[in-house]
Chains A and B, each alone.
Chain A
Amino acid sequence: MGGHNFRTVVTFEFLRTVTKRRFWVMSLSIPLLLALVVTLTTISSRSQNPTATSTAFAFQYHDASGLVTPQLAKAFGVTPTTDPATAVAAVRAGTLPAFFDIPADVGTAPVQVYGEDVGLIGNSRYDSVAQALVRAAVAQKIGDPRLARLAASGAQVTSTIYNKGAAVSGFASVVLPGIFLVLFYLSIVMLGQQMLNVTLEEKQNRVSEMILTTMSPTTLIIGKVIALVGVGILQALVFSLPVLIARLVAPGTVHIPGLSLSDIPIDPLRIGFGFVIFLFSFAMFAGFLVAIGAVMPTIRDASGAFSAVVVTMFVPLYAVQLVVNEPHALLPTVFTYFPLTAPVTALLRNALGTLSWYEAAIVVVVLAVMSTVMLRVGVRLFQTGSISYTSRVNIREALRRNR
C-alpha cells in the first residue's frame, strides 16, 4: 500500500503540473526568448561588423596619417577631403552623413568621428566603420595577411600548468564538477517557490486531514519532492531544446568559445562528490521548505522565511573572490562546513579543485545528517502544522506532540 500510494502521489503531482497549459507556456517561453535574443544578437553583431562592401552610408575622411590608400577608400566608397572644418560643418548642417578625421598617429590620438544622428543604436555604426577602415588600412600597410591577423587579434597561447607534477586542465576541468553548482542554483530558482507552494497547498485547500488518513506524511512529502524533481528535469530538457535543435539542424554552430568537448577532462572523484553534495543539498533545502510550509499558515507568511533561507544559502557568492583565491582561509572554511552555506561553497570549491577528498567527505556527512534531520523535522511539523489552518505552529509543541 505504501509503495502504491507513493507512486500514486508522484504520478498525480507530476501530471497535475505538466498537464497545465500554464506550465508549457512558461517553460517554452524561456527557450523561445533565448532563441529570439540569440537571433537578434547575431543579426546585430553582423550589422556591427562592417566590411568595405557593407558600408551603408557615404562619408568623407581626412587622413593625416597617410594610412588609407585610394584603393581602400574606393573599396569603402568614400571620398577624401582636405578641409576638415567644412566637412564638419556639412555634417552639422545635415548635408553630409559622416566625416572621419584620422590623426597623424593613430596609435596615440583618437580618430575623430562626426555623424548625423540616426538614433542611439544606429549611431554606433560610425565608430564601427571608422574602426574597420583603420584596421583595413593597417593590415594593408603590413602586407602579410598572417601578420595583419596577428596585429589585430594577438597570438594564440596554449598553457600547460602543473600541480605537484601533474598537468592541471584549467578552465576545462571546472566544467563537469561545476555543472552541479549550476544545477543547484537552477533547482532553487526554478523549483523553490513551487516546492513551497506544494507543501502549503494541502493546508490552504483544507485537504490535509483527508490526505493524512490515506498515507503517511513522509510518503506525501517525499512523493511531492520526487515529482517536482521530475518536473525540473522536464523543464531543463525543454530549456535546452534550442541547443539540441541547433546541434541537430546545424552542427558546429553551438560551441563554447575556446573550449572543445574533447578538452573536458573526466574526474570521477570530483564529479561523484559534486553529485552527492548536490543531492544532499537539495534534500536539505527541501526539508527546510517543508518545515517552513508546515509552520506558516499562508504562502505570504512562508515567503519571508523562504527568502531568508535562500539568501543564506547564496551568501558565499558575496565572498566568491576569497573562496576562489584563499579557499582555506577562515571564512571559506566556515562556509564550507556550515550546513546552510556548505552547498554553494563546497560545490564551488569542488568545481575549482580546491576541495580535497577528505574535506568533501566531511561536507557530505554534514549535509547527509542535516538533510535527514531537516526532512524528519519537516515531516513531523507537517503532521501538526498542516492542520493548523489559521495560525503559526509552535515548533517545540508540534515536535513534542508527534512521534
Chain B
Amino acid sequence: MSSIWAFLGIPPQALFGQLMVGLINGAFYAMLSLGLALIFGMLNIINFAHGALYMMGAFAAYFLLNFFGIGYWPALLLAPLIVGAFGMVIERLFLKQLYGLDHLYGLLLTFGLALILEGVFRELYGSSGLPYAPPPELTGGYNLGFMYLPTYRGWVVVASAIVCIGTWLLIEKTRLGAYLRAATENPALVQAFGINVPAMITLTYGLGVALAAFAGVLAAPIYSVNPLMGSNLIIIVFAVVVIGGMGSILGSVITGFMLGLLEGLTKVFYPEASNTVIFVVMAIVLLIKPQGLFGRAN
C-alpha cells in the first residue's frame, strides 16, 4: 500500500483532503447543473443566464444584509424566492415567445440577458467583489486528522445534497413532478386534462432559477459577492450538463460531484490543467456516448 502512495508522490492525508475539497466544489457544480438540466429538460431552453442568476442570488443576500439587516439564514430562503420571481418574470416576458423556435433563439436571448445583468452589476459594484461574512455559527472548523475542514464548507456539501435530493424527489416521486414530466412529453394532451401547462412551465423556470440563486447565497461567504462569479462557473457547469446527459436530473447531480472530485485530483497532480480537464472529459464522452453518461438516446 505504501508503495502506491510513494508512486503517486503524495501522502494519503493530503489526498483525502483534496478529495474533500473536490467534493465541495462538486456540490456547486451539482446545484447549478441541476437547475440547468431542469430548465432544459422541461422548457427546452439552454439557460445561458444561469450564471448571472447565480450571481444575483449572492447579491440578493448582500443587499438583504446591508440594506435590511436580514442575515444569512433568512437570506438562504428569501434570496432564491426573490431571484426565482425575477426569473419567472423573464420567462413570462421573453422566453415564452421562443418555445416554438429553434434552440438558438433561447440561447441568444439568455446569453444577452447574462451580458446585460453582469454589465449592470459590474458598472455599479466593480469587479473585485464585496465582502459577505459567513454566519457566526458556521465559522471555524474541524480538524479531521487529514485536513482542516472549515465548518462552512462542510455545510455547503450538506445543504447541496439536501437540495439535490429534494429536487430529484420532487420531479420523480410527486404528482406535481409527474405532471411536469408529462407536460414535457406531450403538452397538448396534458393541457386537455385540465392542467395549466404554461403556469407549470413558468414555475419550473422559477424553480431552476431559485436553485441557482440558492447556490449563489451559499457561495457568497466563500468567493465574495462578485459580478463575474457566474461567468467563471457557467462554462464548466454547461460541460457538466453535457457530460451528465442533457436534461437528466440525476445525471447532472452525480456528474457534478464526480467532476468536482476529478478536478480536485487534477489540482494535485497537474494543477495547470485543472480548468481544462472537464472539457477533455466532455470531448471523450461526446465521442463515445453523444447523449451523455445518463442521457437517453433520442
Is A bound to B?
Answer: no
**B binding-site residues for A, Cβ under 8 Å:** none
